[in-house]
């Protein structure tokens, strides 16, 4: 029996989507679905939920929960990762509250900015522990990473972990449907090319029957900007820089120096920027969990329809050799020449029995590449900090972050980083 290991299986809703998709896929029947999480109650909840789903759907997959990570990984053909190190309390609270003392406000803080840096620093050591286990007990496994910060963690697993890793994100699948639905354009038959970096990939080409749709998209977007709506940052970036970005406006508001500014508070209202959005979502999810738990965990009639998540489609393509195209996060082996070769990029990839094969994109428009590089700079310095354990590189990463550097002086950035390091305590290794 082949094994698919899910690390972070206590993310019960996400486990339902990803592993429910696998159980709903004919070509993936008979696999062992190995569950692992450090939260034993949530692990048991997911085991019960998936067992109900298996029984109600008639899947022949087996559901086995493990308390030993290495045993969960042993012999796995595929490993799916969806962990969050430090959780909402204490680490997410720390990532938001300490920067706020310095006047630095954030929206999501899970990818870029000061919150993204520290989420990386506490997650990278854990991921490298996973990598050591994988090299020992399932060295040929394909590692599907769903954990943010996507670009850095996927980079580390490939570059330092020695594990064949592809990073997977929702934003590429949602880009065309979200944009076209909002602009009320028919998306049937639309062809698109999307590439860049995670959460800042670009809709480079969008055509229908050979016709470029961008002029109409920009015309309609400019009309939409006359009234408040929920995607104003991305529309503004498209109208100013020429191309639409994959990830949401609340994310992109904190990836650039233009939108969240203490001296221009009117920008927050004008672009409808939801400050402290991620903590608000966390509080809401925590408060709703018991109700959701009843609906998911204790529901013996639980059903599932296959979602848009890439994981089951990747596994299906590899098991059947029927090709499938994804937007994947991979190392930049010349795929986008005007981005650094050390970077992790998000590009179209073809999946079949041979694995995940990235496609060549070519140079991005120069302004798009320049914007990507502002975030790549911080990504690479964060990796340098994590691998050398030198505190100075944490400072460098923060001082190079576009939003952080636009708001704070270098001295304030260093003091803020020192305070964050101290507050994280044992969630971080020692830095010199």
Which CATH homologous superfamily contains domain 88-104+170-275+309-427? AglA-like glucosidase (3.90.1820.10)
Give the model's pLDDT for residue 388: 98
Could you tell me which CATH class the domain 3-87+105-169 is placed in? alpha beta
User: Of these residues, 170, 256, 396, 403, which one is catalytic?
Assistant: 170
Let me know: does 177 contact 148? Beta carbons within 8 Å. no
Do 3-87+105-169 and 88-104+170-275+309-427 come out as alike in CATH topology?
Answer: no
Helix (H) or strand (E) holding 352: strand 344-352
Strands 200-208 and 190-197: antiparallel
Let me know: does 94 contact 424? Beta carbons within 8 Å. yes
- Local structure of 339: helix, strand or coil: coil
Question: Closest by alpha carbon to 4, among 85, 63, 51?
Answer: 63
Average pLDDT score over the chain? 97
CA angle 93, 96, 100 (to 5 degrees): 130
d(CA 164, CA 198): 18
* Structural tokens at position 348: 């179209």
* Structural tokens at position 198: 């995670």
- Local structure of 301: helix, strand or coil: coil
d(CA 224, CA 182): 9
Domain boundaries along the sequence of the chain: 3-87+105-169, 88-104+170-275+309-427
Helices 232-241 and 366-388 pack at an angle, to 10 degrees, of 120
Q: Does the pLDDT value for residue 1 go beyond 90? A: no
Query: For the segment 220-253, what is each residue's pLDDT rounded down to a tens digit?
Result: 999 999 999 999 999 999 999 999 999 999 999 9
**In the predicted model, what is the mean pLDDT of residues 104-124?**
98
Query: For the segment 53-83, what is each residue's pLDDT rounded down to a tens digit?
Result: 999 999 999 999 999 999 999 999 999 999 9
388's CB contacts (< 8 A; 6+ apart) are: none
Share of the chain above pLDDT 90, in %: 99
pTM: 0.98
SS3 content of the chain, % helix, strand, coil (to 5): 50, 15, 35
d(CA 203, CA 213): 11
d(CA 103, CA 404): 10
Give the model's pLDDT for residue 394: 98
Query: For the segment 307-351, what is each residue's pLDDT rounded down to a tens digit?
Result: 999 999 999 999 999 999 999 999 999 999 999 999 999 999 999
pLDDT band at 183 (very low <50, low <70, confident <90, very high): very high
Query: For the segment 134-175, what is each residue's pLDDT rounded down to a tens digit?
Result: 999 999 999 999 999 999 999 999 999 999 999 999 999 999
* Structural tokens at position 248: 């949401």
Give the model's pLDDT for residue 53: 96
Residue 396 known to be catalytic: no
């Amino acid at each position: 029996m082949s094994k698919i290991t899910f690390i972070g299986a206590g993310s019960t809703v996400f486990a339902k989507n990803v592993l429910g998709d696998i159980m709903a896929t004919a070509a993936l029947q008979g696999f062992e679905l190995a569950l692992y999480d450090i939260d034993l109650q949530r692990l048991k909840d997911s085991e019960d939920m998936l067992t109900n789903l298996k029984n109600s759907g008639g899947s022949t997959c087996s559901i086995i929960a493990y308390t030993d990570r290495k045993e969960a990984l042993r012999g796995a053909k595929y490993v799916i990762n969806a962990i969050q190190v430090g959780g909402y309390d204490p680490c997410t609270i720390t990532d938001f509250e300490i920067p706020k003392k310095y006047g630095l406000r954030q929206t999501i803080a899970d990818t870029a900015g000061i919150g993204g840096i520290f989420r990386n620093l506490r997650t990278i050591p854990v991921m490298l522990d996973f990598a050591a286990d994988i090299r020992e007990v399932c060295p040929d496994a394909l590692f599907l990473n769903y954990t943010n910060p996507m670009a850095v963690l996927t980079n580390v697993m490939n570059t330092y972990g020695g594990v064949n890793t592809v990073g997977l994100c929702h934003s590429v699948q949602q880009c065309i449907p979200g944009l076209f639905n909002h602009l009320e354009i028919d998306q049937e038959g639309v062809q698109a090319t999307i590439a860049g970096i995670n959460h800042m990939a670009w809709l480079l080409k969008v055509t229908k029957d050979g016709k470029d749709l961008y002029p109409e998209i920009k015309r309609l977007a400019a009309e939409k900007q006359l009234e408040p709506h929920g995607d104003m940052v991305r529309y503004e970036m498209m109208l100013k820089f020429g191309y639409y970005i994959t990830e949401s406006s609340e994310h992109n508001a904190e990836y650039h120096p233009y939108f969240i500014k203490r001296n221009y508070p009117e920008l927050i209202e004008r672009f409808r920027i939801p400050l402290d959005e991620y903590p608000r979502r966390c509080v809401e999810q925590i408060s709703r969990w018991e109700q959701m738990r009843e609906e998911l965990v204790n529901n013996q009639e639980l059903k599932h329809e296959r979602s848009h998540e890439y994981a089951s489609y990747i596994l299906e393509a590899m098991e059947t050799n029927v090709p499938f195209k994804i937007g994947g996060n991979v190392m930049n082996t010349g795929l986008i020449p005007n981005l650094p070769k050390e970077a992790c990029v998000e590009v179209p990839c073809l999946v079949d029995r041979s694995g995940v094969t990235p496609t060549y994109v070519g140079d991005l428009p120069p302004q798009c590449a320049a914007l990507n590089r502002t975030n790549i700079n911080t990504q690479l310095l964060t990796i340098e900090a994590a691998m050398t354990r030198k505190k100075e590189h944490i400072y460098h990463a923060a001082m190079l972050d576009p939003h952080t550097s636009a708001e704070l002086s270098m001295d304030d950035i260093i003091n803020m980083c020192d305070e964050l390091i101290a507050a994280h305590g044992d969630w971080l290794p020692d830095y010199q």
